[in-house]
Amino acid sequence: MAVPSSDTLVFFGATGDLAYKQIFPSLLGLIREEGFSLPIIGVSLDGSLDKLKERARDSLEHHGALDQEASQKLMGLLHAVQGDYNDPATYQKLRQELGKSERPLHYLAIHPTMFVKVVEGLAKSGCSTNARVVLEKPFGRDLASARELNKILHQYFPEESIYRIDHYLGKEPVQNILYTRFANPIFEPILNRHHVRSIQITMAEDFGVEDRGKFYDEAGAIRDVMQNHMLQILASLTMDPYTGGDYESVRDEKARLFKAITPLTPKDVVRGQFNGYLSVPGVSPGSTVETFAAVKVAIDNWRWGGVPIFIRCGKELALTCTEVMVEFKRPPRESFGEIVPVLSSHMRARISPDISISMGLRVKKPGERMAGQDVELTFVRQAADDMPPYQRLLGDAMRGSAELFAREDSIEVQWRVVDGILGDVTPLYNYAPGSWGPEEAYQLIGKHGPWLNPRLPESKQ
């Protein structure tokens, strides 16, 4: 049965940083490429319609495309509601502005502490009837708060009307991992404990927290990207094939995979903080928030039981790159009497800054001797994602397609995985900007290492 599309987009936080950097450019893309033509209502404390349009123009100038026709159309679709989120009158003004709209989509591009207040305001004013709501991450701060937030949301919205954004799910290369696995039968027989020695996932950034000091100091690397982005990448790589043609079958398999991950304990994590973090504006004096985290993960099921999985993420590292490395086991016997590197057989999936899928193989060197060398064959290399993740996700939410959004049970299980390593449960090690994090991370990976540091193509260096 076809799901009805939303007929109005309402976004809270219309003059905020996320709207400026992501939402306005994504709306421009939807107008230009998909013929989007619905009313857009921006709600903010200080955003009159003139200010909202000025903010949108400035956003498109710095982050959007030079498309005069689409830009003018966007300005014509904009409406504004100015008011305090704590004031019931704001939601009454919104209800009036919605007019005859029957299926609005409310996008909460605001600080998570305001989610409950806004959802309650929508419900009490009648703005939640037949509506959908989109919420930004982080969805809660731990398992208990995520459960409480879900409980409150379900008082006003059914689960099928709640869209929890993890923008990594909207990235083309993350979807490419899932597609490549299940569209090519060569991968299914080898992605399991019988053939895989270990898995490494790295998300490295060569920059710091910039102007996000206060926000980042409330989150840290584990809450900011490990609990959501990194576990979603892991699920795309390791979940079982899904059956059925609807989006719930994909989310069912991801939820099943998350439930098989053994909850992390302090012995499974190394936390680090780059030198200079404490001088960032907004960071609390003496903060013990991590800007780097490395974890050892175990999936307790028949496919992956016994395969060590290592995930790391961090700020101010040697370069900016996100990639997955699957290391395959060597044959049970080296037939040619060589001392072969353990890491000579692998599959690499690069997510950013470029998109590529490669295989590492051992091939014969030219000559009479049966001696080999390691090579990497790249099957595909593409430019970075042309469609911004937020454009894809906003379009899907408007159409009622929830495949790329996190479901209640998955969110809670992801928090269960990291709940035991939140806060100051382990020491915090300092590391130099431009390095690959604290030395203690190498002790974590131990005999299963070393860490395989990404290398960028020459064109990206």
Q: Which of 106, 167, 229, 448 is catalytic?
A: 229
* Contact by Cβ (8 Å): 165, 134: yes
Q: Give start and end residues of each alpha helix (H) in 205-293.
A: 213-221, 231-238, 247-260
Query: Residue 271: enclosing H or E segment and its boundaries?
Result: strand 269-274
Are 242 and 271 in contact by the 8 Å Cβ rule? The answer is: no
Q: What is the 3-state secondary structure (H, E, C) of 136-156?
A: CCCCCCCHHHHHHHHHHHHHH
Rounded to 10 deg, the angle between the 231-238 and 247-260 helix axes is 110
Is 334:340 a contact under the CB 8 Å cutoff?
yes
229 is an active site residue: yes
Indicate if the alpha-carbon torsion angle 95, 100, 103, 105 is positive or negative.
Answer: negative
Strand pairing class (428-431; 269-274): parallel
Instruction: For the chain, give the longest Cα–Cα distance.
Output: 85
Pairwise CA distance, residues 162 & 154, whole Å? 9
Spatial separation of the C-alpha atoms in residues 312 and 324, rounded to whole Å: 11
> Reduced to 3 states, what is the DSSP secondary structure of residue 124?
helix
Cα dihedral sign for 164, 168, 171, 174? negative
State the Cα–Cα distance between residues 299 and 306, nearest whole angstrom: 8
Measured CA to CA in angstroms, residue 79 lies from 16, 44, 53, 380, 389 at distances of 16, 11, 9, 44, 24
Query: What residues pair up with 204 in beta bridges, in sequence order?
Result: 314, 321
Catalytic residue list: 229
